[in-house]
Amino acid sequence: MQNDVVSREECLEARRALLAKEKEATRLRDSVNAARLALPWVKVDKDYLFESPEGRKSLADLFDGRSQLLIYHFMLGPDWDAGCTGCSFLSDHVDGALPHLNHHDVTWVAVSRAPLDKIAAYKQRMGWKFPWVSSFGSDFNFDYHVSFSPEDLAKDKVFYNFTPMQPADANDELPGLSAFYRNDKGEIFHTYSSYARGPEELIGTLMILDRAPKGRNEDSTMNFVRRHDEYQEAPKAPSCCH
């Protein structure tokens, strides 16, 4: 793989053309962010309970004294042996952001339907610090359209990413990110959810790769990704010294 090799003047012309598109994309992102903040909210009236290392917690408890809560719907089902590779890839980027989020009135929590002991074992294996609770026995994952029962998957369609989709394209667990706000009266509102590739911008490694000479260098979406303890040593580039 090698792109055209041109003069510095020609390269500068091409780079300026790309810069115009990059600025357009930045302005569009700003516009999308503003539209996201302007979305209407839905009040959460249902009581949800989660199992945590500190005991049973309500949705309000997950805010941990802050007014904003981001929940990552991590794909780890009750019968799964390990967490989803893609969810693990995203979660590798979370711990370093926690102090910044917490001091900006935002709490981050991962939620999975796996029982707490399975979550704890996988969290220890990956070396993560972020809060992670179990929604096993709760309707939470089903109400936010990231978990599907055998009965759901036997239907003609399942609802995911705001769209009916073929059950053959679904799974018992799928990824997503949901945001909640808690006001001074203790009322909780669901403000936003994003699914499929929606939370991709949270994965800093992808943003870095997008600027590397070969980009993501993938055959399909994130097909190169492994859990961080499953990578084999990368082959070294050829050298004239060997």
DSSP 157: -
Q: What is the pLDDT of residue 41?
A: 98
Q: Is residue 230 part of a domain?
A: no
Residue range 125-144: average pLDDT?
97
Q: What is the pLDDT of residue 235?
A: 55
Residue 62: CB atoms within 10 Å? 22
**Which of these, 202, 196, 199, 205, lies nearest to 225 by C-alpha position?**
205
Which tens digit of pLDDT belongs to each residue from 173-216? 999 999 999 999 999 999 999 999 999 999 999 999 999 999 99
Q: Is residue 228 part of a domain?
A: no
Dist CA 75 CA 167 (whole Å): 17
User: Could you tell me the residue range of the domain that residue 54 belongs to?
Assistant: 45-202
CATH number at residue 88: 3.40.30.10
Residue 94 has pLDDT above 50, yes or no: yes
Q: Which residue is associated with the tokens 């989020």?
A: 101
Q: What is the pLDDT of residue 169?
A: 86
- CA 188 to chain CA centroid, Å, is 22
Counted domains in the chain: 1
Q: Is residue 24 part of a domain?
A: no
Which tens digit of pLDDT belongs to each residue from 214-237? 999 999 999 999 999 999 875 554
Q: Is residue 154 part of a domain?
A: yes
Residue range 12-25: average pLDDT?
96
**Which of these, 96, 100, 50, lies nearest to 73 by C-alpha position?**
50
